[in-house]
């Protein structure tokens, strides 16, 4: 779901000031346009002219909100990171039982990669991740999510925070990788099925994956391939 309009709309409504609300709405449109352009072209090929055209504003208006293309990019990235962390935190808080909490966290990753606003690409696949400020933000979101999941693991298992955070990092990495692969394969199965399979793997390990029956000839061929 789009997150910029949702967050900034609340701010403008609270102000009760029409000019402030109008300015907030314009900033929302500018940021959404920036996200779309950065996701489509990457940081290096995107230009402020591209964003201004997409937003339907002049470039001077763009610079009233952001001092440079990098400042713009970081502002958009910060907005997406904050919402991702909040969504995962809310999802876990709103679920009852360990398995349901884990499922809620995994589902957040799948919904993120499936989201039309390309937030996943901006955070995890940007061509600008070598920039130290961008890298710091990406590492921060990974750390924040791992801490949220790690705290839950520690509470439920009695393990130390250090141990729990290691496990949480593995669980989050699995969810992120599975969601990314599901998207890259062209969504070969419904999202709900992909989430359920990832949950089974995370919860029960490979023992939860149903073995596909194969013929003895296929088993022999598989052995030959490994030893050949």
Among 15, 38, 66, give the residue marking a domain's end: 66
Residues 122 and 12 in one domain: no
The count of domains in the chain is 2
pTM of model > 0.85: no
Pick out the chain residues at pLDDT < 70. 1-23, 116-120, 125, 206-228
Residues 45 and 148 in one domain: no
Instruction: Please check whether residue 62 is in contact with residue 51, taking contact to mean a CB–CB distance below 8 angstroms.
Output: yes
Position 72 in a domain: no
Instruction: Please check whether residue 183 is in contact with residue 175, taking contact to mean a CB–CB distance below 8 angstroms.
Output: no
Domain of 45, CATH number, reads 1.10.10.60
Classify residue 164 by burial, with Cβ atoms within 10 Å: 0-12, 13-18, 19+.
buried
Residues 132 and 224 in one domain: yes
State the residue range of the domain holding 157. 77-228
Residues 92 and 14 in one domain: no
The pLDDT tens digits for 174-193 are 998 999 899 889 999 999 99
The pLDDT tens digits for 143-176 are 888 888 888 888 878 888 888 888 888 888 899 8
């Amino acid at each position: 779901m789009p997150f910029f309009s949702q967050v900034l709309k609340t701010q403008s409504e609270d102000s009760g000031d029409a000019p402030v609300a109008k300015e907030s709405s314009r900033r929302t449109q500018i940021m959404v346009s920036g996200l779309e352009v950065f996701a489509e072209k990457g940081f290096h090929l995107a230009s402020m002219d591209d964003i201004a055209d997409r937003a339907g504003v002049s470039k001077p208006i763009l610079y009233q909100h952001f001092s440079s293309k990098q400042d713009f990019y970081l502002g958009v990235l910060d907005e997406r990171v904050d919402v991702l962390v909040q969504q995962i935190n809310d999802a876990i808080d709103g679920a009852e039982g360990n398995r349901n909490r884990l499922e809620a966290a995994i589902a957040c990753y799948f919904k993120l990669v499936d989201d039309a606003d390309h937030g996943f690409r901006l955070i995890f696949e940007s061509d600008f991740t070598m920039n130290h400020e961008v890298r710091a933000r990406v590492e921060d979101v990974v750390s924040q999510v791992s801490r949220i999941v790690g705290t839950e693991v520690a509470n439920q298992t009695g393990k130390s925070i250090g141990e729990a955070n290691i496990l949480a990092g593995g669980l989050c990495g699995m969810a992120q990788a599975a969601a990314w692969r599901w998207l890259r394969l062209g969504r070969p199965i419904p999202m709900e099925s992909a989430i359920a399979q990832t949950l089974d793997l995370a919860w029960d390990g490979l023992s939860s994956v149903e073995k596909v029956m194969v013929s003895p000839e296929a088993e022999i061929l598989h052995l030959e391939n490994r030893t050949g």
